[in-house]
Amino acid sequence: MFVPPMALPTSCLRSLVSTAALALLLAGSHLRAEEQPLLPTRDVDVSYQITRPDQPAIVERRRWLASERLVRADGPDKSTTLFDRDAHEITVLNPTNRTYLKLEGELRQPLDPEKGQELKRGGDSVVAGLHCTDWSWTVDVETHTVCLAPDGVMLRLVVDGKTVMQALAVKYDRQSAELFRVPRDYTPALAPGGGPGP
């Protein structure tokens, strides 16, 4: 599952230009992945249409608690996943049996560019009624392009010319921190081996 991006850079031009006028024309056409966070800068609630190869499209709701860099993803099957980038932790909530499973490790997603990777600026678009700018980079042989609003909200993800994720509705509103915590009445799920989850 892709996690949504979060923020993009401000850059250095790779080649020297001979005139100030040309420099002004080219400035901002390339960015570096560490220069600007790939996360929304304010709380937001976004519904995305997600399309995977050979599978029907689904709608997933994602909410961001910007001040704590937390993400909550709610799928069509009532599943919920919590992402804590600072703690490098993913928590999967199972509402059927009211359990949770914590997974630890590096949270870099396929959507995130490598640190230091150059991002190329593309055209501007309007998605879900909001303006955004395309930023592209290459992962192995795949070209990833995200359309980011000025505040870091990802409105569209395209991989090799195919739209994988696109915002249907965007609502800016303060998010309750409780939405991004494990409910108190949930218990740890058992790992596949029979023991408690990590």
Cβ contact 137:9 at 8 Å: no
Cβ contact 185:98 at 8 Å: yes
Cβ contact 156:127 at 8 Å: yes
Closest among 109, 57, 58, 64 to 79, alpha carbons compared = 58
Closest among 116, 146, 117, 103 to 5, alpha carbons compared = 146
Q: What is d(CA 163, CA 143) in angstroms, rounded to the nearest whole number?
A: 12
The structure tokens listed for 43 are 């709380």
141-150: which pairs have CB atoms within 8 A and are 24 or more residues apart?
Answer: 144/110, 144/111, 144/113, 146/5, 146/8, 146/111, 148/5, 148/7, 148/8
Residue 133 to residues 54, 125, 147, 154, 186, Cα–Cα distance (Å)? 29, 6, 5, 10, 41
Q: pLDDT tens track of the chain, all 198 residues? A: 334 433 333 333 222 222 222 222 233 455 554 454 478 999 999 999 999 888 999 999 999 999 999 999 999 988 899 999 888 899 999 999 999 999 876 555 546 677 778 889 999 999 999 999 999 998 888 899 999 999 999 999 999 999 999 999 999 999 999 999 999 999 999 755 444 554
| Domain with residues 20-182, CATH architecture | Clam (2.50)
Q: What is d(CA 170, CA 32) in angstroms, rounded to the nearest whole number?
A: 26
Cβ contact 47:177 at 8 Å: no
